[in-house]
Chain A
């Protein structure tokens, strides 16, 4: 194993960074991180290397491309392909395009192993599952690597893949599955905000001079599709600074794409008011143009009051059909800063709308688009006993970070960063604290993959590691034995099987709780998680499932063993394992030592 490879499997873009462990002699410092240029189809018949691989997958039809024009260096005639061309052609023919596969991967409302994407595909298009789509991106990266580094096969290198901190155990397991199917060996999963922080550590070898014991670092990661928060505390152990990830946020489907689309809608409305109608392709062009206009206007050096938005005429009449309008700074401020980043008080919580009745299948996008309100909720999360003395809190109980680190494409815009800092500082002032220090992220687009590669080296003992463990508490539902009441489900108790902070490479047994499982019949347990309840110790039995818990896909096990007759009852106890690679597993263990792994059953739709 020569290389350590870090992969950012993003909602809208993927990136790959790597470290060459040979040719670097100093055993005490980490070798430099390099960015891998990813070959991909950018036009029919044209493969080019780009630093990002757009996470778009296109399933070409017979009429899409001429023969041989979508050959990839590793596949003459792909059934589907990822990257820039997929994104471009997909805009013209949405029925064959898969996007946001990652968001589907974390959505329990559908069977994530069922072939359901593209959602709007006409009959006859070979649909694939969210897991297979994620596998396709991972396949692309592996093949691309092998094309360029033939002597050091990808499969023989150490690989780290990042997932949002807010991914629950099921989504993490599905990501690991996808990687396994893509031929990844010895995979390690890492949380994205942690990876972003590792990237900062890598860029700042003198980091010990920049933070001190008692400091609390807030990582705000706003990518194309998701918003992710994490708190990292600086503590001390045996005279050494120690970094500990003390909290992660909920899964928020809200990102840069929502913002660009919102701006496009504003400009579209302005055109409609003048009697100009746009077709689907022009709307798409408008979306791109608004993104450019946004970035120009949000540049801190820009003083322009507006930025032109030009949509060229459709058809061959280019000048004649050109529609010209502009995005003004006022519109931008109202839509983006006040809409997505409003200056709110720290008590303001995101609005929640109960989902009622029949609902069209679709991603559960965040109902409240105010990123700052989600941040307030995150910082008001219930404190855990373990964090006492580590997390600085104000008189009102708000967690008060001393430092903030930004990551993700949205936060490249200086004005958005300034707004987040401003809101945060107003909360800190109320709690009687000094303003936050901003840690400068070097490269907001590639930070996560760079940090992942750095973490790979840190795991080998050549760099500092953030301690974290399981970022949520997990429970198994246990039906109480009570006389059945017609029309009412039996009340459910919850057994704490993985407490918050359970560390990688540890396991827990629950010898007091025995279950009788029948050989040959599948047994199923309901499975719950909570990002809020942090003090439930392992083995604690809660009398009922509360609102603070969220139901995940159930876990099931089948005790079919060879040569054993069905019908026999085996008494088993549960065991929880968090692997070294960060995957949570549940096992049934019999007295004689036989073990069966409980698998997530993602086929069942979980109520939201």
Chain B
């Protein structure tokens, strides 16, 4: 790597608070050897999109707009039903709004549940057959037990570089 390249990488890494990259530190002899870590330090180059990013983002949104993580992580066994109910009512409304804003959901089969429905065999992965399933796994109709959910559209905000996705909610500290 060129010295200019090294200098730039060091500069930005230090500027954004990540410290001197280990390979550079090693290059200049500040540390003797890079310890092998199971999770490698994030590369300062253009952040690649990892499969977990979208999931972390969605969790952060549900926490931010509806505090869903707080709710799921709380031990609610000790509280009376009406106490839980009071919290859930507002949480439900906010979760729903947040979900609808970023993800468009449609039923897989838009029919009335517990009535007879035709089975579209073109996309077998979208339909799960239950009960007396024929040996060849093919059927043309059956009773609709669950409409299913299909994601039509996902519109998550762009991830900005430097956004710590693993922080679902920052700790809040009030200055007196």
- Residues of A whose CB lies within 8 Å of any CB of B are 43-47, 66-69, 71, 308, 310, 312-313, 316-320, 322, 324
Nearest-CB residue, chain B, relative to A281: B174
**Residues of chain B within 8 A of A313, CB atoms compared:** 87
**Residues of chain B within 8 A of A324, CB atoms compared:** 83, 86
- Excluding A45-B159, A67-B16, A324-B86, 17 further A-B contacts by CB distance (< 8 Å) are A45-B158, A45-B163, A46-B157, A67-B161, A68-B160, A308-B86, A308-B89, A310-B87, A312-B87, A312-B91, A316-B74, A318-B70, A318-B74, A319-B76, A319-B79, A319-B83, A319-B87
Q: Is the interface of B mostly helix, strand, loop or mixed?
A: loop
Known: A45-B163, A66-B163. A320 touches B158 (CB 8 A): no
B90: interface (CB < 8 Å): yes
Known: A310-B90, A312-B90. A318 touches B163 (CB 8 A): no
Bound form: Cα–Cα A187–B144 in Å: 62
Q: A45, B157: Cβ atoms under 8 Å?
A: yes
B46 CB to closest chain A CB (Å) equals 13
Bound form: Cα–Cα A43–B164 in Å: 15
B71: interface (CB < 8 Å): yes
Known: A312-B67, A312-B90. A319 touches B74 (CB 8 A): yes
Query: CB within 8 Å of A: which of B39-93?
Result: 64, 67, 70-71, 73-74, 76, 79, 83-84, 86-87, 89-91
10 CB < 8 A contacts A-B: A45-B160, A66-B163, A66-B164, A67-B160, A71-B160, A310-B90, A312-B91, A318-B87, A319-B74, A319-B79
A326 CB to closest chain B CB (Å) equals 10
Bound form: Cα–Cα A313–B86 in Å: 11
**Residues of chain A within 8 A of B84, CB atoms compared:** 319
Query: CB within 8 Å of A: which of B106-164?
Result: 157-164
Count of inter-chain pairs, beta carbons less than 8 A: 62
Known: A308-B86, A322-B86, A322-B87. A317 touches B74 (CB 8 A): yes
Bound form: Cα–Cα A43–B62 in Å: 13
Bound form: Cα–Cα A308–B86 in Å: 9
Q: B162, A316: Cβ atoms under 8 Å?
A: no
Known: A46-B157, A67-B16. A316 touches B87 (CB 8 A): no
Bound form: Cα–Cα A319–B86 in Å: 8
Bound form: Cα–Cα A240–B71 in Å: 66
Bound form: Cα–Cα A66–B74 in Å: 28
B72 CB to closest chain A CB (Å) equals 9
B87 CB to closest chain A CB (Å) equals 4
- Chain B: interface residue total (CB-CB under 8 A): 24
**Residues of chain A within 8 A of B157, CB atoms compared:** 43, 45-47
A314 CB to closest chain B CB (Å) equals 8
Q: A318, B67: Cβ atoms under 8 Å?
A: yes
**Shortest beta-carbon contacts, A-B, top 10:** A46-B157, A324-B86, A318-B70, A322-B87, A68-B160, A45-B160, A319-B87, A310-B90, A69-B160, A316-B70
A71 CB to closest chain B CB (Å) equals 8
Nearest-CB residue, chain B, relative to A71: B160
Bound form: Cα–Cα A68–B157 in Å: 13
**Residues of chain A within 8 A of B73, CB atoms compared:** 316
A210 CB to closest chain B CB (Å) equals 39
Bound form: Cα–Cα A234–B115 in Å: 63
Nearest-CB residue, chain A, relative to B82: A324
Bound form: Cα–Cα A313–B71 in Å: 10
**Residues of chain B within 8 A of A46, CB atoms compared:** 157
**Residues of chain B within 8 A of A71, CB atoms compared:** 160
A312 CB to closest chain B CB (Å) equals 6
Q: B74, A68: Cβ atoms under 8 Å?
A: no
Nearest-CB residue, chain B, relative to A314: B172
B57 CB to closest chain A CB (Å) equals 10
Q: B159, A319: Cβ atoms under 8 Å?
A: no
Bound form: Cα–Cα A44–B61 in Å: 11
**Residues of chain A within 8 A of B74, CB atoms compared:** 316-320
Q: A318, B89: Cβ atoms under 8 Å?
A: no
Tell which of A308, A310, A322 has the most Cβ of chain B within 10 Å: A322
Nearest-CB residue, chain A, relative to B155: A48
Q: B83, A322: Cβ atoms under 8 Å?
A: yes
**Residues of chain A within 8 A of B161, CB atoms compared:** 67-68
Bound form: Cα–Cα A44–B162 in Å: 12
Bound form: Cα–Cα A474–B64 in Å: 53
**Residues of chain A within 8 A of B163, CB atoms compared:** 44-45, 66, 69
Q: B86, A68: Cβ atoms under 8 Å?
A: no
**Residues of chain B within 8 A of A44, CB atoms compared:** 160, 163
**Residues of chain B within 8 A of A316, CB atoms compared:** 70, 73-74
Bound form: Cα–Cα A67–B47 in Å: 14
B91 CB to closest chain A CB (Å) equals 7
A280 CB to closest chain B CB (Å) equals 8
**Residues of chain B within 8 A of A318, CB atoms compared:** 67, 70-71, 74, 87, 91
Bound form: Cα–Cα A8–B74 in Å: 45
Known: A66-B164, A67-B162. A319 touches B71 (CB 8 A): yes
A162 CB to closest chain B CB (Å) equals 30
Tell which of A46, A319, A324 has the most Cβ of chain B within 10 Å: A319
Bound form: Cα–Cα A317–B74 in Å: 6
Bound form: Cα–Cα A67–B162 in Å: 7
Bound form: Cα–Cα A312–B88 in Å: 10
**Residues of chain A within 8 A of B86, CB atoms compared:** 308, 310, 322, 324
Q: A320, B160: Cβ atoms under 8 Å?
A: no
B150 CB to closest chain A CB (Å) equals 24
**Residues of chain A within 8 A of B91, CB atoms compared:** 312, 318
Bound form: Cα–Cα A313–B90 in Å: 12
Bound form: Cα–Cα A310–B76 in Å: 17
Nearest-CB residue, chain A, relative to B68: A318
B20 CB to closest chain A CB (Å) equals 19
**Residues of chain A within 8 A of B83, CB atoms compared:** 319, 322, 324
Bound form: Cα–Cα A447–B157 in Å: 31
Bound form: Cα–Cα A69–B83 in Å: 37
Bound form: Cα–Cα A140–B152 in Å: 33
Q: B162, A68: Cβ atoms under 8 Å?
A: yes
